[in-house]
Amino acid sequence: MILNRYISKFFIVLVFLVIIQLIFFNILSLASEVSPTNNSTENLQIYSESAILIEEKTGKVLYEKGMHDRKYPASTTKVLTAILAIENCNLSDTATASYEAVNSIKSGYTKANIQPGETFTIEELLDVLILQSANEAANVIAEHISGSVSEFANLMNQKAKEIGCTDSNFVNANGEHNENHYSSAYDLAMITKYSMQNDTFRNLITKLECKLPNTEYWTEEDIEEHGERIFKNTNNLLIKDSRYYYKYAIGGKAGFTTPAKNCLISIANKDGFETIAVVLHAETTADGLSARYIDTINLFEYGFNNYNLNEILKEYNMESDSSARSGYRTVPIDDTNSENIDSNIENQDSNNINILKIIIGIVIIVLITFYFIIKMIVKKRKNDMRKRLYDFKVNYYGKK
């Protein structure tokens, strides 16, 4: 009877506990639904010294941090070089690498192993310029168009002014460090916005792999020693097995020099809402993560979560285009493989809350169960002691 009474009490408390848990979990779920991610710029932490996010069609600035501060652009310079090559050449035109174009590249700067005397099409040079960030390819293009790198730099500055840049001065075609070679997050965003209106550039910026053909200057011995000149895009936003993979990213251009730190221009498109992010002078976070990728992903998420394309277009008296670009990847997007650290922030928050629910539920049930087991044991021992005491008294006084 006593055991049955304890069991009944236990089940009553267990039912009450389940009701309390359901109420508590619903409150957590409601809080997760009501609280948006990065609701304001106050909640948006950007590690890079300069950053900007713009809408691609209108150029509306959605976020900025020191957007007009002069910074060294490193290889993000090559975006301007690329669009000038596209506008001034046919892709099938050929250019020959001079000794100066190849051997003027300083040690430590990225190259594509182009040899003096080799001839390539402009398309091939553009591919290695953007994917491999080949510095000698930029020089070859510059000499082909303007006769020299310095003259090409004048063309770059002229084009930058036409686009609307106010913070830039370019002295070379590849972004090699020079104190007089500088730009800003705003100017680089405007250059990218302008370039993205060109379908050839748009296709170029989304490529994931390219190859330089073998020539008489790239012998079998060179191939044995260095391998085929096959280059893959190293932008981690586009690489599906990267921790920084971002499923809405469609292209970009990275850069690095010691004075410039890490730089990144990126373009993302979500259901036709296309944005351009630029981050300059980024290092690493306290956790050792790449700040330029973390910042870029957070900027994109901030833009997509807090702005509406149609409202932006209305603000600029522009109509929504039903045939708006919805993404220009050269490979299909696999939505099932998007396990990066920030691209699915809302899903991660939801998963964290579900895990929290399970943990709390298990802990509460274990504690309550343990409490009742202990209470039953203590109660039973007290009853046993009372019974023994009673029996002792009966026996003691009965003998008397």
Per-residue pLDDT band for 245 (boundaries 50, 70, 90) equals very high
* Both structure tokens of 59: 């150029």
For residue range 143-154, list pLDDT tens digits in order: 999 999 999 999
Closest CA to 149 of 174, 112, 182: 174
Whether domain 46-343 has CATH 2.40.50.140: the reply is no
* 332-359 tens-digit pLDDT: 333 333 333 443 444 444 455 566 667 7
Between CA 240 and CA 135 the distance in angstroms is: 26
Q: How many Å apart are CA 371 and CA 375, to the nearest integer? A: 6
Amino acid 285: pLDDT: 93
Using CA atoms, how far apart are residues 126 and 117, in angstroms rounded to an integer? 18
Question: Could you read off the pLDDT of 266-313 as tens digits, one per residue?
Answer: 999 999 999 999 999 999 999 999 999 999 999 999 999 999 999 999
One-letter amino acid of 28: L
Position 357 scores a pLDDT of: 66
Q: Across the strands, what pairs with 255?
A: 263
**What's the pTM value of the predicted model, to 2 decimals?**
0.72
Average pLDDT, the chain: 84
